[in-house]
Amino acid sequence: MFDAIAPRYDFLNRLLSLGIDRRWRKKAVARLRVPENGRVLDMACGTADMALEIARQYPRTAEIVGVDISTHMLAIARRKIEAAGEAERIRLLDGSCEAIPASDGVFDGAVIAFGIRNVGDRRKGLHELRRVLKPDASLIVLEFSRPRSPLFQKIFNLYFYRILPRIGALFSRRSAYLYLPQSVAEFPEPTRFAEMLAEAGFGPVLHRELSWGIVSLFEATPVIKISGDGLLG
């Protein structure tokens, strides 16, 4: 599905969100803490909008690794990264969130924007994100959520369930833009998702609503365990 929608993905993101998606990404990336020479993972990187935002906000010494399962998304990401002159420090890997192609504890930070909802085995994906992060690293998750205000919810639902799939169908694959609201409806509530992060070894989890709850921003750090022999792990 993501291979099929890749060519129009950026265009539809801008159109369907009226450009607000850029602001969500900026805010999410601003919450990362990336040291000099740090390494950041952009999981489910798609066309690399997050990776490029990280490159804009953090020192030139920071290395960024984008991982995605869609070869077509990665091909577009590669072109954008080259056009932005960032090929030296943004690397792309074909891989999945459930089996991240990286050793344990190698990243100082990770982001996953509008990605975790699509990961088949979410629990495994979150454990994998925990595995590849250093103990003092930060994880930022950006994901669609459901607005809580009943009035705004009505207006939003009209747009999200009725108008958005039609616009999506005009320019891209209809089924993908039917899947979007459906997958958002099925995604756990923020409190439940925060629990899932905790179950995967993250804590404390901070949750913030953006744009009246259309989007949720989660920030988490790995829980540091002290083993029997007194070592931090």
Ligand X SMILES: C[S@@+](CC[C@H](N)C(=O)[O-])C[C@H]1O[C@@H](n2cnc3c(N)ncnc32)[C@H](O)[C@@H]1O
- Write out the residues near ligand X by the rule CB under 6 A: 2, 44-46, 49-50, 68-70, 73, 96-98, 113-115, 118-120
Nearer to ligand X, 63 or 98 (CB): 98
Pairing of strands 63-68, 39-43: parallel
User: Which are the contacts of 159, defined by CB distance < 8 A and separation ≥ 6?
Assistant: none
Query: What SS3 class is residue 7?
Result: helix
Q: How far is the CB of 5 from ligand X (least distance, A)?
A: 9
Select 9 or 202, whichever has its Cβ closest to ligand X: 9
DSSP 95-127: -BTTB-SS-TT-EEEEEEES-GGG-SSHHHHHH
Q: What is the rounded CA–CA span in Å between residue 120 and residue 110?
A: 19
Distance between CA atoms of 33 and 1, rounded to whole angstroms? 33
Centroid of chain to Cα 69: 13
The least distance separating ligand X from the CB of residue 205, rounded to whole angstroms, comes to 20
Looking at the Cβ atoms of 16 and 34, the one nearer to ligand X is 16
User: Are the C-beta atoms of residues 213 and 199 closer than 8 Å to each other?
Assistant: no
Instruction: Give whichever of 41 and 69 is closer to ligand X, judged by the CB atom.
Output: 69
Going by C-alpha positions, the residue among 205, 212, 214, 197 that lies closest to residue 160 is: 214
Q: At its nearest, how many Å lie between ligand X and the CB of residue 73?
A: 4
- Which CB atom, from 97 or from 137, has the smaller least distance to ligand X? 97
Residue 40 CB, shortest distance to ligand X, in Å, is 13
Measured from the CB atom, the residue of 81 and 223 that comes closer to ligand X is 81
Least distance (Å) between residue 23 CB and ligand X: 13
Q: Which residue is nearest to ligand X (CB)?
A: 46
DSSP 48: S
Token pair recorded at residue 191: 């409190």
Shortest distance, CB of residue 126 to ligand X, whole angstroms?
12
